[in-house]
Amino acid sequence: MSQESTQFKNLNNLLEKDPIIAAPMAGITTRSYRKILRKFTDGLIFTEMVSVEGLKREINKTIEYIKLSEKDHPIMIQLFGYSEKSFSEAIKICEDYSTSSGFDINMGCPVKKVLKTGGGSNLLKDLNQVKKIFRHARKQTDKTLTAKIRLGWDKNSYVYKDILQLAHDEGLDGLIIHARTKSDMFSGEMDYISLENAAKMSPIPIICNGNITDVSSYKKIMSTGVKAGMIGRAIMHSPWIFKAIRENKDPKYLLSSKEIYALLMEFKEYEMEERGDNYLNILKKYAVFFSKNLSNAANFRKKIYSVSDEKEMLKTIENFFCNNSAL
């Protein structure tokens, strides 16, 4: 069997085993939060976006993003940037500092911070550079290599078919498609027809990112013929969504409020290991996320945002999740 077909087989096997994936999310798929995600999924998880320029310079803060634990696997590191040489050097640095399952190239992020680097969605307008990045990255690693894209910059410039062809020609193992354009940002209906077209024409696995919030939305995406569904924003307030989808249940009602409280306290311990006493704001953020579908959530949010004392904050969280009281 050729190296190429072996690579595709390995990714296919992973997706067949668990076709629900945790998306790369800045400030969310951190080391500590990935431990929470691992309580509900054995499938593929992605790190936060990591700058190839920061890795190339071996900046300590950037290197921290790629330090992995045993429980992280299977996990892929997502990289963003513009220079093909920087991607190559960044992958080499990753191989020195971590043991990921592979690498993903971000070509879909629409936020200004990433666009300023020339990377993210900007690459949708520069297919020659896309080809260079794919080629240099593939030469640097035999591990699983994917790219995450959008359909195009706007509805008048769809390029997903061209990028899919480049991905296959340059030996990538799969393509992740957010079925919107850069101009759409995160709003509006996804283009399911284009997603289905990509799945039908692709010789490599297609993964769909976006709009998975429950069982029905997951099934709608999988009905297009893609190999897997990647969950993004929903993992912020419902990390248990993986278990809910597998069990065909509504994630809103999968865990009791007391079970959610226990999860938050476990997360607190992980954050304290990472940040020491600086964990409070992060815990507060997730307490608000996790309160989303519970009664009195609005009152809780108002209360928790007004609290700065550690003991009072922890008591407020306990009162809400254990006694359903925000006061």
Name the pLDDT band for 185 (thresholds 50, 70, 90).
Answer: confident
Name the pLDDT band for 9 (thresholds 50, 70, 90).
Answer: low
Q: Considering the entire predicted model, what is its pTM?
A: 0.93
Q: Does the pLDDT value for residue 6 go beyond 80?
A: no
What pLDDT does 17 receive?
A: 93
Q: Does the pLDDT value for residue 167 go beyond 60?
A: yes
Name the pLDDT band for 7 (thresholds 50, 70, 90).
Answer: low
What pLDDT does 326 receive?
A: 52
Q: What is the mean pLDDT of residues 160-175?
A: 97
Q: What is the mean pLDDT of residues 263-270?
A: 97
320 close to 291: Cβ distance less than 8 angstroms: yes
Q: How many other C-beta atoms lie within 10 A of the C-beta of residue 96?
A: 11
Name the pLDDT band for 324 (thresholds 50, 70, 90).
Answer: confident
What pLDDT does 90 receive?
A: 97
Pinpoint the alpha helices (H) of 151-255: 160-169, 192-201, 215-222, 234-237, 241-246
Strands 75-80 and 45-51: parallel
143 close to 102: Cβ distance less than 8 angstroms: yes
Euclidean distance between CA atoms 30 and 49, whole angstroms: 10
Q: Which residues pair with 152 in a beta bridge?
A: 158
Which helix (H) or strand (E) segment holds residue 324: the answer is none
> Could you read off the pLDDT of 23-79 as tens digits, one per residue?
999 999 999 999 999 999 999 999 999 999 999 999 999 999 999 988 899 999 999
> Could you read off the pLDDT of 95-141 as tens digits, one per residue?
999 999 999 999 999 988 899 989 999 999 999 999 999 999 999 99
What pLDDT does 1 receive?
A: 34
Name the pLDDT band for 184 (thresholds 50, 70, 90).
Answer: confident
Instruction: Report which of 260, 284, 283 is spatially closest to residue 272, judged by C-alpha positions.
Output: 283
